[in-house]
Each structure stands twice: as C-alpha cells, then as structure tokens.
Structure 1
Amino acid sequence: MNQVENLVDIRKENNPYMEIAGFSIIGTRQYQQDYAGMYSDRNEVFGIICDGMGGLSGGEKASRAAADLFIRDYLRRKPDSELNGFLMKEAVVMDRAVADLRNERGRPLKAGTTVVAAVVREKRFYWLSVGDSRIYLIRGRQIMPLTRDHNYRLTLNEQLKNGTISKEEFEREARSRQAEALISYLGMDGLELADARGPLKLENGDILLLCSDGVYKSLDDSQIHAMVRDNDISMELASRRLLDTAFSMSRGGQDNTTAVLIACRGE
C-alpha cells in the first residue's frame, strides 16, 4: 500500500480486464481538500474521490476521514455482500463519521465532503454519489454523466417540473450563486440525498471518470472526452493530462482537482 499525499493507491495486482489510475493537484488553493483512493486485484477494482469543505483544514480532515473509512469497510466486507446495499449503508456510516469529527478543542469540526465511488466487478459496475463530484461514462464518441449534482439547482429543476415555480423564477434563481450550494453532503448527520446504482454492464473500451468539480468547472464535456479518449495512452498519463489541461484552462485560480480513471480493456 502506497500513499502519496492525498491519493491512496492499493493495487495488489493487475486486473486482467480493467486498468485504474488517478491523479490530483492542489491547484492555486492553500489547502488540499480533495482525497482519493483506488484499489485493484484480479477480481475487482474500485475508486473513490471525496471533495472536502470547511474552514482551514476542516475539509481536508472530512474528505480523508470519509475516504479512509470507505476503503477500510469495503475491504472488510463479506465478499458475497450485495453491493448496492453496502454502498447506501456506507453513505450513512460516512455521514455520521464526518459529523462526529472534532477540532483540537473537542468542538464539532462542522466540516463536510462530497463522495463518488465506483466498484467494477466482472465488467459490471456499481456507483455511489453524494454532493457534486461526478462520474462520467465515456463510450466511443459519447460522454455521459451518470451522477446528478446535489445542489440547489436540482431543487429548482424539480420545482419547475412540478409547477411550484415559474420559468422566470427558475431562470432568476438558476443564475444566482446560490444555485451551486449543496443540499446534500457527508457530514450533515442525516443525508438529504444519496444515489447508488448498479449493476451496469461495461463494454470493451469503456472508460469511467470519477472527478471533483475542479475538472468539470474548467473543462466542458467535449474537452474532457478529448483528453481521456485516446487509445494510445495509459490511464495514468490520461489522468495527468486531464488535470494539466484543467489547470491551464482555469481562470481566476484553480480549485483542488482530482480524477480517477477506470478503463475496460476487454479479454
């Protein structure tokens, strides 16, 4: 097990069908509040990214606590456990653990973190999402977001669909900075939203991208696709190239930025 700063790498042995790699940069921020992990053996791979929030080092502690807990619990679970159930239960466990964090004075840390996690077993994958970190499926010329952002904009979309607000009200609120405010994250001590899906079947050549918002707030979908969808490079190189491009394209400073790529290489 090797740990380089905020990226835990537990690759016991190469998976014959899946390639996993990740990379992370601090950007222009003072603190690194992203935390990620990846695992592989001959039977399965998984990746996780947590993007912390909270004053000073609070977000760093929150993201690290959540990711480390997930990795520990996943590796200790019963091999035949149902994955969707595990992921949903683990979201609750991580939420409570982050909410229980204390500062040096023993007071509540009042920090939080997003989480996205993906598990691939026998070309079938399962995923978990809380917050606004994302998972994309890249298949051929397509790039498809699998997750939804748990922010105020999601609430506005539902209100517009239900007819409880007008189109004019929606457009006004959607343009405000408040639209990106999270309505669900780990550390609330009572999750508002947690999405878990699977199993979904992967095809040969498919690539899963897990990323914090530093990626998609700097690059649009077509740029992300162009950086990742290159059969001539490894996922490790692709993840580095993706983040280097995100940094070079940023305006007014670059957030912490993290990506984990999982490629289905086939038999």
Structure 2
Amino acid sequence: MITKCGKTNTGLVRKNNEDCIYVGEQPCFILADGMGGYAGGETASRLAVSSVRNSLEQESLSSITEETLAESFQEANQAILAKKAESPDLSSMGTTLLTAVVHDNCLYWAHVGDSRLYLLENGTFRQLTEDHSFVMQLVKQGEITREEMRTHPRRNEITRAVGITSELKVDTGHLPFNNGAVMLLCSDGLTNMLTDEEIKASLQAHMTDTLDVCACVDDLMEKTYAAGAEDNVSVIIAYNESLQNGVNDNHD
C-alpha cells in the first residue's frame, strides 16, 4: 500500500505561490515550480500540472512508462506555448515539471528543471533527478561544491524549463520501489533552505513501524519556515508501506 501526502505553501517572502502540485488517488504525483512575471509562473505551473494529469488519466496506470511520461511533458510544453501565443503578457512564463508514478512496485519518473525527486531506502537517501540549473553545471565543472549550490547568487537560474521552446528534452528513469521505500518530490524552495542531511533526518525521525507521511511533510514545512522560507515550497512524500516490521532499521 502506498501512503502519500503533499502540501504547497507561499513561504515568507513571495506574494504569490507559483508552485502547483497534484497528489492522485492512484500513486501519481506531479509538481511544478513556475516562473515568469506577473501571473505567469502561476499560470505555467497550473497548466503543466493539469496537462500532465489529463494526459496520464487517458492511460491505465499499469501502462505508464518512461515514454508515456515524456510524451505527457511534450503535451504540457505545447499547452504552455499555445497559451503564451494568445497572451503576450505571459510571454516570459515557463515552469519546472516533475512527475512520479508507481505501479507493480516500480517507480517511473520524468523531470525538467530543478525540482527534485529523492529516494530513501535501507538508510540511503539519494537524489534520483539531476538539476537542470546553472549551479549544477558549476558543480559538474568542479567550480563549486554541492553544499555551495544552496547559497550561490545564481542558484535560481535553470537551464531547462517547460514552455520555453518547442524542442523540449525530458529526463526519465525508473527503478524498483520496494516495501519500506520512501520517495520525496520537492521544489527548490525546500532544498535551498534545508540540506539533504536535514531532509533525511526529518524522514527518519518519523519512521517507526510505518511512516507518518503528513507529519513528515508538516515537519519539513516548519523547518523550511524556520530557515526563512525565501521561496514557495512544495513537498510530496509517498511511502511503500511494508507488510513486515523493522522499517525503523532505516535509522542510522
């Protein structure tokens, strides 16, 4: 059984929430972090989420693959471009986009931008997506460390987004989503405020024989606000609830 919870908040600095999330009854999760001036970011993120959701609802869950997810992103890209063509005041809008689907104990995902998908399994916490961002390029070139990404003055610049050009490259992947595994989807409003170690510690603190996913989402939100919540923040957590005890073996 997959238990899940998601929340999005404006934060302490921004006036509007340009993030948008979807947590489906089936294990289907979508997160977008919009950008682009007055109303643009909100419009782009909502268009992207609704477009991907509509695309995936045309499919049976068990038929969704990496290719299906990539196609849904292309449709979202075209939807945003069409909206921009009819509304010149939205010409600068675009959005990150991250989608994760689980069926047959397998996790499939697709992403564009710097919203992240993490997996916690057997005590190991790792990022499954690679940020499409200026600072990630600097990390790959050895010019800064991953720790320095969070405070770099150009940390909010992304190198790939949905709704910018007709040619969209989508990263996809899949791997087993075993009993006791936890996935976390988030916008950079979380990861610019908290380290990976802090996020992992929050997840593990709520693990006993199960994971209270909503308590964990709330805890991450509270920690983000305590750190300053400089951006909109969105978090989705899903847990593959083990039929056996011992999930708390994930504690360090």
TM-score scaled by length of structure 2: 0.84
**Letter matched to residue 215 of structure 2:** L
- Identify the residue that residue 88 of structure 2 maps to in structure 1: 107
SS at match of 1:65: helix
SS at match of 2:83: coil
1:266 aligns with 2:248: no
SS at match of 1:193: coil
- Identify the residue that residue 203 of structure 1 maps to in structure 2: 178
Q: Which runs of 5+ in 1 are unaligned?
A: 1-16, 161-166
Aligned length: 233
Per-residue displacement from partner, 1:66-93 (whole Å, max 9, x unpaired)? 0011111111125564511111111111
Contact 1:184/1:191, CA 8 A, preserved across alignment: no
- Identify the residue that residue 59 of structure 1 maps to in structure 2: 41
Q: Following superposition of structure 1 onto structure 2, how do residues 99-248 of structure 1 map, counting pairs within 5 Å?
A: 99-102=81-84, 106-107=87-88, 109=90, 110-156=92-138, 160=141, 170=143, 177-178=153-154, 180-191=156-167, 193-198=169-174, 200-229=175-204, 230-232=206-208, 233-248=211-226
C-alpha distance in 2, partners of 1:119/1:255? 26
Comparing 125-134 with 145-154, greater Cα deviation is found at 145-154
- Identify the residue that residue 55 of structure 2 maps to in structure 1: 73
C-alpha distance in 2, partners of 1:205/1:101? 42
SS at match of 1:50: strand
C-alpha distance in 2, partners of 1:108/1:36? 24
- Identify the residue that residue 31 of structure 1 maps to in structure 2: 16
SS at match of 2:162: coil
SS at match of 1:205: coil
Per-residue displacement from partner, 1:146-190 (whole Å, max 9, x unpaired)? 1111012344456x4xxxxxx6xx45xx89634642110001123
C-alpha distance in 1, partners of 2:79/2:226? 36
C-alpha distance in 1, partners of 2:217/2:155? 29
C-alpha distance in 2, partners of 1:25/1:148? 24
C-alpha distance in 2, partners of 1:194/1:34? 19
Flag the 1:82–1:20 CA change in 2: closer, same or farther, 3 A. closer
Contact 1:185/1:191, CA 8 A, preserved across alignment: no
Q: 1:193 offset after TM fit, Å?
A: 3.5
TM-score scaled by length of structure 1: 0.80
Flag the 1:107–1:224 CA change in 2: closer, same or farther, 3 A. same
Per-residue displacement from partner, 1:185-218 (whole Å, max 9, x unpaired)? 00112345321111x1122211000000011111
- Identify the residue that residue 19 of structure 1 maps to in structure 2: 3
Percentage of pairs with the same residue:
25
Q: Which runs of 5+ in 2 are unaligned?
A: 244-252
C-alpha distance in 2, partners of 1:135/1:18? 16
C-alpha distance in 2, partners of 1:111/1:254? 20
Q: What is the root-mean-square deviation in Å for CA atoms of aligned residues?
A: 2.2
C-alpha distance in 2, partners of 1:218/1:131? 18
Flag the 1:179–1:240 CA change in 2: closer, same or farther, 3 A. closer
Contact 2:135/2:152, CA 8 A, preserved across alignment: no
Contact 2:62/2:104, CA 8 A, preserved across alignment: no
**Letter matched to residue 35 of structure 1:** C
Contact 2:28/2:102, CA 8 A, preserved across alignment: yes
Per-residue displacement from partner, 1:202-246 (whole Å, max 9, x unpaired)? 222110000000111111111101112222452111111111111
